[in-house]
Structure 1
Amino acid sequence: TIVAMMQAGDRNEFRRAFAGATVHDFFNWLSVLILLPLEAATGVLYKLTKIVIDSFNIQGGDNAPDLLNVITDPLTSAIIELDKTVISDIATGDPAARNKSLIKIWCKTENITTLLNITVPSAANCTIGVPCWVEGNKTWTQINVTETINLERCNHIFAYANLPDLAVGLILLALSLLILCTCLILIVKLLNSMLKGQVAVVIKKVLNTDFPFPFGWVTGYVAILVGAGMTFIVQSSSVFTSAITPLVGIGVISLERAYPLTLGSNIGTTTTAILAAMAAPGETLANSLQ
């Protein structure tokens, strides 16, 4: 829908692009309205996926190499780093973690353990194997106290900002939307400049022509396969649908052809989740795939 809004300058293009975006929106809404109550009432999707995964007989093993993070980490680490320890503590229900910042400030720390003498009410409160003695009317014992020393700050842009998490989140959200809208506008401008004249006529004819009789019914299924394949290549249904929406707007792809392409895109995007699940630890791989 946001992509379609980028073509609001031309009434006809906006009408076609918005219709193409609505096809995708309604498919998602109908999927939720139908499948969510069905799953909540019967658990059929859980049972079906469990049967499929069990048939693979997946065994635990070594963790998969983290290939994607090797590419993305340098960029994301330069923008912001999150404290995974705080995230884990919040996930496990530690109430103290909710008051901690999710933004990682110190990337290099050192834990120093010191042996301290403390008083306890009586010798019964001493730990077995730990020195315990009485001086006057006080009972003493020893405990290890660990203190974290901050050595080196992180290098991301918010390490020295001293901003609350909410402010950082809003800044990143605004920057993300700005970059997204800029890219979408550039996509529309690029497609409008490239797909004109005879090129647009040829592409329109190729994309919107049905197979000859009696194989016309196959055309939609081929379009589904094309949509799934292209989405698998770019690993994002949002990117694919954002690309075809301007094409619908400028009339290169018909609305009837956009529908099977959208269906294929939603099928192809499942491969992204499968690839992400395959990066899970060996002992949780089956659950991740399911």
Structure 2
Amino acid sequence: ISLASSGQHIFVNFSLPDYAVGIILLIASLLVLCGCLIMIVKILGSALRGQVAAVIKKILNTDFPFPFAWVTGYLAILVGAGMTFIVQSSSVFTSAMTPLYGFGVISVERAYPLTLGSIIGTTTTAILAALASPGNTLRSALQIALCHFFIIISGVLLWYPIPFTRLPILLAQGLGNISAKYRWFAVFYLIVFFFLVPLALFGFLMANWPVLVGVGVPIILVLLLVLVIKLLQSRCPRVLPKKLQNWDFLPLWMRSLEPWDGLVSLATRGCQRRCCCSCPKCSKCWEGLDKVQDTPAQTPAASENRDVGTEAEVSIPMAQVGCPGLNTISSTTPL
């Protein structure tokens, strides 16, 4: 604030409005954040290899001996809360832990209590800020901070102590399997649940209550009906009618992601033809194409000078070069 009021900031010599400066700083901060996360993944990927990864995996995923195995999860919660209290950011802790889970160093059963502990650790920031408040507002600030703390504790008690209530583990495994098969689903998930759903809820709250009831109640009822049918299909399918024992009665685009995957692949095919990345798959493909283009075409006269048993060398069309993941076309094929 003092730098901005005194005119000593990076955009002091630019005649830009405040909103333009804010947009530029927002984009720059997002780029820096994404760059830091990418570098964290790369550094951890290069560091956690071989014997180091095996030792860390054994230490982090080891449980206490019976009958104290249940204490391990709560100790992981305390470790997550303590680490978050030290770094004062749950985003840093979870961002550093996510690559470890991706590399197989930490199991999802161990990552779950660590994440819950990091959420508890974020409440310490509000408590410390409340303790730094003036005397006349200290009581109110502490009340708000403790409300935040007990809400988080209530959520942890709701979703962790009883084993069958640990639904986030199952949801994480299911979404991870889908994202591993369809890479675009992760982007779709972020767009829907971090942008579209909050905007829709905000719009419903801004509208009148008849609109909220008329639109929200049918959506909730349909979701509950699908959830109940899905549970009955997996647990006790004999209770359901024969037609509802599976989803084959629905169109393919409503019960499978294969048609949507075809549309996404078709939309991104043009980008794949002009791929300029340096991944190993694309590099091998382009090396193969370069070798084919460098092979000289043999004329009929040159082929006659060879032995009878030797076949004439001919140039191979680009369409015959097999590159996985890259759709090549011949030079005579119209785009």
Normalised by the length of structure 1, the TM-score is 0.48
1 or 2 for the larger relative contact order (CA 8 Å, sep ≥6)?
A: 1
More strand by percentage: 1
More helix by percentage: 2
Normalised by the length of structure 2, the TM-score is 0.41
